[in-house]
Structure 1
Amino acid sequence: MKIRFLGGAGTVTGSKTLVESNGVRILIDCGQFQGIKPLRELNWEPLPILPKTIDFVLLTHGHLDHCGWLPRLVNQGFEGKIYCTSPTKDIAKLILLDSAKIQEEEANKANEEHFSKHEKAEPLYNVQQAEEVFPLFRVVKPNEEVQLDAEISAIFTNAGHILGASSIELNLEGEKLVFSGDIGRDDDVLMYPPVKPKKADYIFLESTYGNRIHPEEDVKLLLETFINNTVQNGGTIIIPSFAVERAQTIMYLLWQLKKEDKLPDIPYVIDTPMGISVLDVFMNNRNWHKLSETECTEMCQMFTMISEYQETIDTIYNKNPKVIIAASGMITGGRVLSYLERYIGLPETTVIIVGYQAEGTRGRKLLEGAGEIKIYGKYYSVMAQIQEIEGLSAHGDQNDLLQWLSVLENKPKKVFLVHGENQPADELRIKIQEKYGFDCSVPMMGQELEI
């Protein structure tokens, strides 16, 4: 059996792990690289193996860094089956269409305004190529065995994190390989706790926050404080948010605060068409999260939901205080950029960062105190207040990741730490070895090994 780390090794994005056994090739996740330019450029490179030789893709969840390279894979010849849970299928469709649309729009804008370094800017993939992925999806039920081949089977179990997110247990050649996917938190606002594995021969564990402990902070109090202080100064609050799960979590917390009369009567705006669409996925998959139908309905009634871009323009030029929740969560694209063009240079503005920010993203630069950021080829001075709420992360921290290993009934032969930058992954490696005595390593991008 061969394992090849094609992405998500030494970095948090581009998750792709290839498993090869007796002539069968299985790709766990097919994510897009994000962040610094050398990583983004990898999206344009062909895989080191022909996509048409891959038999199956198993998706842990629908985030772009786990499914965002599927259109390229299909366009380059993949014709196999893509297995995932029902919410993951719905979310992946939304994310791929949104991603394709944004890429088409940004390529057109770059060509019209001549700020691309290329003779002609091209999207990584277009809407039609995204749609060609959808017929290959096959829905699996959690905790039920899926027979991929006469001697290969898979089981998907709840990983928390976002709707439909799963860990994947792959059984082949008498070995049990467990791929964690992105692990949620045991005390998440909306999601149920992740299911911990009981047996595994080889584990592929995410390490996004491998060196961090989420602070014990009162998330609602912080939101209340930031919003009220900003409104008193006549400013607008911008919350760049992942459209899946994070936007809904923020909505839920703001709705609770509003019911408690702790927030002012100002517009609360959701300006992410995909985030609005995800609300339907929430309503249709209530067994995956803690909200009742009534809570979902009442929560949505509090917000103005924007889908047309003209509404975005009108909202931007409304000078009154407001709260804007807009994608993308790492400020790499999407409508949040239009708001920041207008508001990032105003000292009365507050930008609240509520999720992981990959290296090289505008969100990371803002957190690191950048004095200016580049949007669509232009530089904007950062005068706004930049605040972070770490307690809203959908990723488990170091303690959560260690806890995820706590009910194993056997000692795995090896634990590989993936989906993390090198320092967090290495610090988690040391902790795992100290606590459990497991053989643990951090693979490099492109590394191949036999097990």
Structure 2
Amino acid sequence: MKIKFIGAAGTVTGSKTLVETEEVRFLIDCGLFQGIKPLRELNWGPIPVLASTIDFVLLTHGHLDHCGWLPRLVEQGFTGKIYCTAPTMEITKLILIDSAKIQEEDALKANQENSSKHELAEPLYTVDQAKDVFPLLTVVQPNTIVKLEGGIEATFFLAGHIIGACSISVQVEGKTLVFSGDIGRDNDVLLAPPVKPQKADLVFLESTYGDRLHPETDPKLELENYIKETYRKGGTVIIPSFAVERAQSIMFLLWELKKEGRLPEIPFIVDSPMGVGAFEVFFNNTQWHKLKFADCQEMSKMFIINSDYEATLAAINNKGPKVVIAASGMITGGRVLSYLENYIGIPETTILIVGYQAEGTRGRKLIEGAKSIKIFGEYYTVRARVFEINGLSAHGDQADLIDWLSELKNRPYKVFLVHGESAAADELRIKMKEHYGFKCSVPLMGQEFEF
């Protein structure tokens, strides 16, 4: 058996792990690279094997860095099934269509403004190519053995993080391989705690926050204070957020604050073409989260959901105080860029960063104190105040990641630390060895291991 790391090795994006036996070849996740240009350029190349020779894909969840390269995989010849949970299938469809639209719009804008370095800017994939993925998506139930090609069996079990997200245990050649996907937190406001694996010969564990602990703060109180302070100054609060689940978690906290009379009477806007679809995922899958159907309905009434760009322009032109939740979460694209174009130079504006920001993203630059950021080819001076609310992260911290392996009944042969920047992954390696004595490895991009 061979395992090759072709994504999310030394970085938190582009999740792709290739597993090969004498009979079968399959991928765990098929994500898009984001962040610094050398990573983004990897999206344009082929994977190191013929896509047509990959038998199937196991998808842990529907975030772009885990599913966003599927249209390229299909375009390059993949025709197998893509196994995932029901909410993940719905989210993946939303994410891929949104991603394709953004890429088409960005290419069109670059061509109209002649701002591309290429003679003709092209999208990484189109909406039609995104839709080509849909017939291959195959729903599986959690905690149920799925029989696959070559005698392989897979079991999906809850990972927290976002609705529908699962870790995956795969039986291959008599060995148990456990892929964590992204691990959520025990105290998530909307989701059940992650389920811990009981047996693993090889572990593939995310390490996003492998070098830090989340602060013991109250994110609900922080939201309240930042909004009230910005309101007193007559400013706008902009919250870059993933459109599915993270946005709903923030909305839930804002809804609670509103019910408790702790927020001013101002517009609360969710600006995303996926906004309505994201709510439908929660409405359709109430067994996957803590909210009741009636709560979903009541919560949605508090927010103005902008789907078309005309509504976005109207919200931007209304300079009164407001709170805007807009994708993308790392400020790599999406409607949030239009708001920042117009508001980042206003001192009364508050930008709240509520999730992990990968290296090279605008979100990372803002929390590191950038004085200006580039949007659509233009540089904008940062006069807005930028704050980070770590308590809203969807990823477990170092202690959570170590604890996730606490119920193993056997000693794994090796633990691979993936989906983390090198420093974070290496710090987790040291802590994991101190705590369990496990043999840990931080693989490099393209590195292959044979067992």
Same fold, TM-score > 0.5, yes or no: yes
Question: 1:186 aligned to 2:186?
Answer: yes
**2:40 corresponds to which residue?**
40
Q: Are the equivalent residues in 1 in contact too, given 2:55–2:149 (CA < 8 A)?
A: no
Q: Deviations over 1:210-252 (max 9, x none)?
A: 0010001111110010000001001011111110111000100
Aligned amino acid, residue 367 of structure 1: I
Q: Are the equivalent residues in 2 in contact too, given 1:271–1:324 (CA < 8 A)?
A: yes
Identical aligned residues as a percent: 69
Q: In structure 2, what is the Cα distance between the partners aligned to 1:395 and 1:259?
A: 28
**1:273 corresponds to which residue?**
273
Q: Are the equivalent residues in 2 in contact too, given 1:28–1:58 (CA < 8 A)?
A: yes
User: Displacement of 1:274 after TM fit?
Assistant: 1.1
- List, as ranges, runs of 4+ consecutive aligned residues in structure 1 with deviation greater than 6 Å: none
Q: Are the equivalent residues in 2 in contact too, given 1:247–1:275 (CA < 8 A)?
A: no
Q: Are the equivalent residues in 2 in contact too, given 1:186–1:194 (CA < 8 A)?
A: yes
Q: Deviations over 1:270-315 (max 9, x none)?
A: 1112133111100111111111112111111111111111111011
User: Displacement of 1:127 after TM fit?
Assistant: 0.4
**2:206 corresponds to which residue?**
206
| Secondary structure of 1:7 counterpart | coil
**2:117 corresponds to which residue?**
117
User: Displacement of 1:84 after TM fit?
Assistant: 0.5
Q: Deviations over 1:60-114 (max 9, x none)?
A: 0000000000000000000111100010000000000000000000000000001
User: Displacement of 1:56 after TM fit?
Assistant: 0.5
**2:436 corresponds to which residue?**
436
Q: In structure 1, what is the Cα distance between the partners aligned to 2:52 and 2:201?
A: 29
Q: In structure 2, what is the Cα distance between the partners aligned to 1:55 and 1:35?
A: 30
| Secondary structure of 2:148 counterpart | strand
Q: In structure 2, what is the Cα distance between the partners aligned to 1:102 and 1:8?
A: 23
**2:89 corresponds to which residue?**
89
Q: In structure 1, what is the Cα distance between the partners aligned to 2:51 and 2:242?
A: 29
Question: 1:246 aligned to 2:246?
Answer: yes
Q: In structure 2, what is the Cα distance between the partners aligned to 1:289 and 1:199?
A: 26
Q: In structure 1, what is the Cα distance between the partners aligned to 2:359 and 2:178?
A: 27
Aligned amino acid, residue 56 of structure 1: F
Question: 1:133 aligned to 2:133?
Answer: yes
RMSD of equivalent CA atoms: 0.6
Q: TM-score, normalised by structure 1?
A: 0.99
Q: Deviations over 1:355-385 (max 9, x none)?
A: 0000000000000000001000001000000
Q: In structure 2, what is the Cα distance between the partners aligned to 1:414 and 1:421?
A: 19
Aligned amino acid, residue 184 of structure 2: G
Q: Are the equivalent residues in 1 in contact too, given 2:275–2:306 (CA < 8 A)?
A: no
Aligned amino acid, residue 363 of structure 1: G
**1:51 corresponds to which residue?**
51
| Secondary structure of 1:65 counterpart | helix
**2:158 corresponds to which residue?**
158
**2:215 corresponds to which residue?**
215
Q: TM-score, normalised by structure 2?
A: 0.99
| Secondary structure of 1:273 counterpart | coil
| Secondary structure of 2:6 counterpart | strand
**1:323 corresponds to which residue?**
323
Residues 352-367 of structure 1 correspond to what in structure 2 (within 5 A)? 352-367=352-367
**1:4 corresponds to which residue?**
4
User: Displacement of 1:150 after TM fit?
Assistant: 4.6
Q: Are the equivalent residues in 1 in contact too, given 2:161–2:183 (CA < 8 A)?
A: yes
Q: Deviations over 1:92-149 (max 9, x none)?
A: 0000000000000000000000111111100000001000011011110001001102
Aligned amino acid, residue 62 of structure 1: G
Question: 1:312 aligned to 2:299?
Answer: no
User: Displacement of 1:332 after TM fit?
Assistant: 0.5
Q: In structure 1, what is the Cα distance between the partners aligned to 2:408 and 2:48?
A: 34
**1:74 corresponds to which residue?**
74
| Secondary structure of 2:154 counterpart | strand
Aligned amino acid, residue 37 of structure 2: K
**2:384 corresponds to which residue?**
384
Specify every segment of 5 or more residues in structure 2 that has no aligned partner in the other structure, as ranges.
none
| Secondary structure of 2:125 counterpart | coil
**2:147 corresponds to which residue?**
147
Q: In structure 2, what is the Cα distance between the partners aligned to 1:384 and 1:143?
A: 47
Q: Deviations over 1:310-352 (max 9, x none)?
A: 1110110101100011111101100011010000000000000
User: Displacement of 1:23 after TM fit?
Assistant: 2.4
| Secondary structure of 2:274 counterpart | helix
Q: Are the equivalent residues in 2 in contact too, given 1:286–1:292 (CA < 8 A)?
A: yes
**2:16 corresponds to which residue?**
16
User: Displacement of 1:163 after TM fit?
Assistant: 0.8
**1:259 corresponds to which residue?**
259
Q: In structure 2, what is the Cα distance between the partners aligned to 1:223 and 1:84?
A: 34
Residues 281-430 of structure 1 correspond to what in structure 2 (within 5 A)? 281-430=281-430
Aligned amino acid, residue 380 of structure 1: Y
Specify every segment of 5 or more residues in structure 1 that has no aligned partner in the other structure, as ranges.
none
Q: Are the equivalent residues in 2 in contact too, given 1:32–1:65 (CA < 8 A)?
A: yes
